[in-house]
Structure formats: C-alpha cells, structure tokens
Amino acid sequence: MKIEDLDKYYFINKEIQSLKQQLKDLQNIDIEISITDGLPLGVNTYNPANIINSKKEKIENRIRIKIETLLSEYEKLEKWLNKLEESEIRIIIRMRYIEMKRWEDIANYLHTDRTNPRKKLKTYLIKKGVKRNVGNSNKHFYK
C-alpha cells in the first residue's frame, strides 16, 4: 500500500457516485421516434430510435464496466484498511482520505490536539513500511 493509493480512495468513491448518476440519467432517457406511424413497414426501414438506443446501451455497458473496475480497486483499499489493528488509525484514514476532512476536524472528532492525528498516522505508516513518494504524495500530511 502506498500513500498514493490512499489519495485515490476519495476520488474512486466520488467517481463511482458520478458514474452511477450518469447511468441513472441515461436509463431515464426514453427515445421513441416514430416517423412511420400509420405507414406500412418496409424491409429496410430506417429507425433512428434503434440506432440511438443501441448507442445508449453501449455507453451504459461501458459505464457499468468502469464502475466494476473502480469497485474492485475500492475493495482492495477497504480490505487493507480493515486489516489494520488500530481503530484510531482506521478512523483517521477514513476521515482524511475518504471524507477528505481537515486535520483539525479529525482532531476535534478524536478530542485531541490538531497535530496529533497527522503525527499518529505518519508514525504508523512509517512503522508499517508504507511507501511514500517524496514530493506530491505528502500533500495530505501537511495541509
């Protein structure tokens, strides 16, 4: 597990929510174009509704596949998180990386000094050998 993986946690969750909403919106679109009402149907009748509905189905399937992929990634992170022995560390990680709470908010929730959760998490991750990329991945530790 890397800190970059924790950084992705929040955005994976948000993307899943967004894709589910897109899927719901697409499913609410009913396309019925009837240009042949009252006319006899021929063999090669062009029906734009069929073409549009076919494209809509393809888009819906792509969204479902993307949701499945994201859910798999989310599940990996959840399994890792649930293996952590210390409940306080799990709370800090959830609040920081899933809920995107500020360190001050986490400290208030835990009834502690505002720098304490950050220090605890950083110490824990170093102790457990969680890799971190020097540079942009520390952004959540120092904000």
Question: In this structure, what token pair is assigned to residue 12?
Answer: 């994976």
Residue 34 has a pLDDT of 53
Quote the CA–CA distance of 38 and 34 in Å, as a whole number. 10
Residues 6+ away with beta carbon under 8 Å from 8: 73, 77
| Six-digit token string for 55 | 């494209």
By C-alpha distance, which of 85, 81, 124, 120 is closest to 103?
120
pLDDT of residue 142: 44
pLDDT along the chain (143 residues), means of 10: 78 92 86 56 64 87 95 90 91 90 95 92 85 50 47
Residues in the chain: 143
pLDDT tens, residue by residue, 51-68: 788 888 999 999 999 999
Q: Residue written as tokens 């798999």?
A: 72
Q: What is the DSSP letter of 96?
A: I
Mean pLDDT of the chain: 81
Q: Provide the pLDDT for residue 88.
A: 95
pLDDT tens for 107-122 read: 999 999 988 999 999 8
The pLDDT of residue 97: 87
Helix residue ranges, H only, the chain: 3-27, 48-83, 87-93, 103-110, 116-127, 139-142
